[in-house]
Structure 1
């Protein structure tokens, strides 16, 4: 008799055969498969859930807020408690999921150099505070899977040559041919380290404080499955696989997007979905668009992928006043299969990545975008190209300040332009992710850059709660205006069936100054035409050009204006967005 355990065990073995095809193991594949299944928390046949194919465990009400655990602080209160109270006061009707950026003990990179994966940074709180948030909001956590801190016990044991983790790290030789390796940084790839076993050269994709794991050792895989189990027990519902594209290394290759990396993600998905199919994996792969799309697999890898091309393309659109590149890209994007979706964002704790714009914007367009952002106070982070040249890798700037003007310079349309960006993102196919500093309309934090010496600090302000509340309560502040208007858009989105992450999306052809697309609900009953003037001049559109059916009743959802004449002209003010629907779901 074939049991669910047998089916799962064979599936896990299939993944392992692909991952370790060229790696000699010191245990049978079948035994390793059993260990992995037990480590994820499946001890008995009754523990196994058999997932259905192509199921969407999300809908139009899902919004994810991205934040550090201490983005808002209040004297005498644990930051995670402050975050919980902030969410309840300002976001209860808009946000239902929260991505708390790494909240573990760390040594650098604002949390992404993890010292201990199993505990909470005591300056933020404890697991009790994390679980409190997880009870009322879907909790998204980072699985920093490519590397850990050089101050971790694992790396200390690597130096000593004994104990847990002593064989967890990838090493190479300075004499190896590493010329093809894809680098997101300009620091030396190998870190010379004196160990009990002599001088070793440890692979460091990002920095010498972030030492890369060696997944050729199955004990590393087992350790991370154990970490995943712990996070699930603490309430995690969404896992962000940080920098996962670099996970598997083979000397002499690019060491990015290797087939073993994809298979590891498939294995993790298989294990997770057999204990709770509603848990999501989101891959954080800041790479060119075509490569990024491969992380969907055949609806058997990531449930969602970061839509990394959207931020640079949308910012470029709004500062140039032309949607030509954005329109071309969105037309080329395949609809996500059921069981998968896009994770849309236009700002995050990192900057505006430029690698995902490669092949979509030409070099002159990227150069002009970089120059414009520098004029708006932005910083530029660099990477080494394959030929050793430095290329712009990331623009470091808050989204609010990135949209303060156009290529002509700052102007009076900053808030309108900023709201337009969010209206476009919120209406698109996929699940929206909104960075807390976008929700709050935060400007560049130059003091923090000066204090840390890190460009990314410009967009990582730490707000004092009393100061922030005073600004949010003032109807004249940019922060109040932004929070009020973005929250209004979110509340509208959450009531429209046509904004389901997997609802159909079709691009409209309305010239370079008007960006539009049509969304249709899964049951085909609701249509919403999402149209934005992305220029600094008023634009008129003829409603008949978008084929509004005359027998339907049409309503503009944002202004609540009823459309009586489907053949009339409508004038859109600079950066105005309209959502025209044939039914009102509010």
Structure 2
């Protein structure tokens, strides 16, 4: 049976390759590489569906701890909270002009974080404590300081020239939207050395890779393999929808992009199953479900639209915003072995891309409490959860109770569990450094050690109430893992978001009172913005 599965993976890679490329010699190189690596894996996760339960904790290593040696000391804190998956925001070599999403060496952890050896030690220690590791790889582009690009821009005859996308004019791919409207005014930047333009969907310091060149695909598979060999459990593939460009299209979600991701998946599964691919596709769910394929592409995707709907539902005391977004009409069913990651906040803004104009106006009215939090001309609101909830710890905990009620694996953004606040100083410092205002830096400051101490020791503090409230809910989730693997039933009963799960004679019902008034339901009295978990 094992041999058959392995041959199937090679067959899948070959079939998809032939749809993308005509170069069979390069295919042989890829298959030889994979076969040579097949027996080099000592670590494998004990449960290949590890991404379907527990809590993801998302953080920057430098801002959270400084480096990987100090991160080791933080593992007990994370474990105590209930973290089972650690999502490390960019850690690879980078000039850090875009918080590390501009990678200059795919094989090297930044020296200031401790380099590769320190990271490998950290992975082993995390695994001992039952914590899986996933990290960000920007697979659509590199830094302009990446040696491939440095070579490519010198000469049209460079060996690496075709690793990137060049044009004599800046008119090609004219239907590709500007992703950083107001900050970047063209997807093309002039290169004086070769008197032409290179293509980039993000900042001009991030030239897009050219996946029409099979060498680029092989190169990325080698990158994934290297980190998989060293125990990395999963990869968040930043900017996944943009890989393939085709004239006359918007260059997003193209079928060729899906073929590339399926090749990545088949290659990793061929080597050893258990490595998760996470699609960072900031799109409506009906488009995102395509990234699961037929359980043969990404195992995980982010559910972006539910985030603003949780905020709207709390602001208006109306669970229907969340219930409608999770209905089959908006969120189609996904394959059984796949999973949504759901979240309240992340390193980016609270996105308003997926709300209608009326809802966007409401969100800006309720949550844009400071004009400086505005992101991309009203398309998002930056800032910390605690600030956005008006520093009301009850609302923060209610938001977490809603999040933990949902179908999907929840993410906690570092510091939100202790009620961290917007970092004015970090925002000011980064604005000076990069030369323009990016409101996301309010929610990207260093971890607040003082608040952590309060969260653990000062029972009167909001930090303590938030931390221990979250921990209690996570403990209940862990004790009732079998119930939480069941599909929930969502109901709106007079502004109470009631979520029910049953298995055999066991049940868990979560009551979230989204209103500013008291509510009584099923013999339970709920204060304004109170939640209650009933297990029977």
Q: Same fold (TM over 0.5)?
A: yes
The match for 1:505 is 488
For the structure 1 residues 131 and 164, does the alpha-carbon distance in structure 2 shift closer, same or farther, using more than 3 Å as the test?
Answer: farther
Cα deviation for residue 428 of structure 1 reads: 1.6
- 1:129 is paired with a residue whose SS is helix
The partner residue of 2:55 within 53, 63, 77 is 63
> Are 2:438 and 1:463 aligned?
no
CA distance in 1, matches of 2:246, 2:360: 32
**Per-residue CA distance 1:398-443 (angstroms, 9 max, x = gap):** 11211117xxxxxxxx111111111111222111111112122111
> Are 2:147 and 1:153 aligned?
yes
For the structure 1 residues 369 and 335, does the alpha-carbon distance in structure 2 shift closer, same or farther, using more than 3 Å as the test?
Answer: same
The match for 2:232 is 236
Cα deviation for residue 499 of structure 1 reads: 4.7
- The number of equivalent residue pairs is 514
- 1:274 is paired with a residue whose SS is helix
The 8 Å contact of residues 64 and 97 in structure 1, kept in 2 or not, is answered as: yes
CA distance in 2, matches of 1:483, 1:48: 38
The match for 2:123 is 134
Cα deviation for residue 327 of structure 1 reads: 1.5
The partner residue of 1:36 within 24, 27, 30 is 30
The match for 1:100 is 88
> Are 2:120 and 1:120 aligned?
no
- 1:253 is paired with a residue whose SS is coil
- 1:245 is paired with a residue whose SS is helix
The partner residue of 2:402 within 406, 411, 424 is 424
The 8 Å contact of residues 200 and 207 in structure 2, kept in 1 or not, is answered as: yes
> Are 2:381 and 1:398 aligned?
no
> Are 2:508 and 1:579 aligned?
no
The match for 1:362 is 356
After superposing the two structures, state which structure 1 stretch, 467-476 or 255-264, moved more: 467-476
Cα deviation for residue 199 of structure 1 reads: 1.5
Cα deviation for residue 35 of structure 1 reads: 2.5
CA distance in 2, matches of 1:45, 1:97: 26
The match for 1:433 is 411
CA distance in 1, matches of 2:252, 2:407: 27
Cα deviation for residue 474 of structure 1 reads: 2.7
How big is the alpha-carbon RMSD for the aligned residues of Structure 1 and Structure 2?
2.6
CA distance in 2, matches of 1:262, 1:60: 22
**Per-residue CA distance 1:330-349 (angstroms, 9 max, x = gap):** 22334432211111111111
For the structure 1 residues 62 and 537, does the alpha-carbon distance in structure 2 shift closer, same or farther, using more than 3 Å as the test?
Answer: same
The partner residue of 1:305 within 296, 301, 304 is 301
Cα deviation for residue 95 of structure 1 reads: 0.9
- 2:415 is paired with a residue whose SS is helix
Cα deviation for residue 164 of structure 1 reads: 5.6
- 2:375 is paired with a residue whose SS is strand
The match for 2:477 is 493
Give the TM-score taking structure 1 as reference length.
Answer: 0.82
> Are 2:428 and 1:446 aligned?
no
After superposing the two structures, state which structure 1 stretch, 370-379 or 135-144, moved more: 370-379
The partner residue of 1:527 within 501, 507, 512 is 507
> Are 2:85 and 1:91 aligned?
no
> Are 2:179 and 1:184 aligned?
yes
After superposing the two structures, state which structure 1 stretch, 373-382 or 238-247, moved more: 373-382
> Are 2:368 and 1:374 aligned?
yes
The 8 Å contact of residues 40 and 229 in structure 2, kept in 1 or not, is answered as: no
Instruction: List alignment gaps of at least 5 residues for structure 1.
Output: 383-390, 406-413, 544-568
CA distance in 2, matches of 1:123, 1:262: 35
For the structure 1 residues 446 and 93, does the alpha-carbon distance in structure 2 shift closer, same or farther, using more than 3 Å as the test?
Answer: closer
The 8 Å contact of residues 184 and 205 in structure 1, kept in 2 or not, is answered as: yes
- 2:346 is paired with a residue whose SS is coil
Instruction: List alignment gaps of at least 5 residues for structure 2.
Output: 432-437
For the structure 1 residues 275 and 464, does the alpha-carbon distance in structure 2 shift closer, same or farther, using more than 3 Å as the test?
Answer: same
Superposition pairs for residues 230-379 of structure 1, below 5 Å? 230-332=226-328, 333-355=331-353, 357=354, 361-376=355-370, 379=373
The 8 Å contact of residues 177 and 252 in structure 1, kept in 2 or not, is answered as: no
For the structure 1 residues 260 and 83, does the alpha-carbon distance in structure 2 shift closer, same or farther, using more than 3 Å as the test?
Answer: same
The 8 Å contact of residues 472 and 480 in structure 1, kept in 2 or not, is answered as: yes
**Per-residue CA distance 1:477-521 (angstroms, 9 max, x = gap):** 332222221112111111113454x5212222424x111222234
Give the TM-score taking structure 2 as reference length.
Answer: 0.89
The match for 2:15 is 14
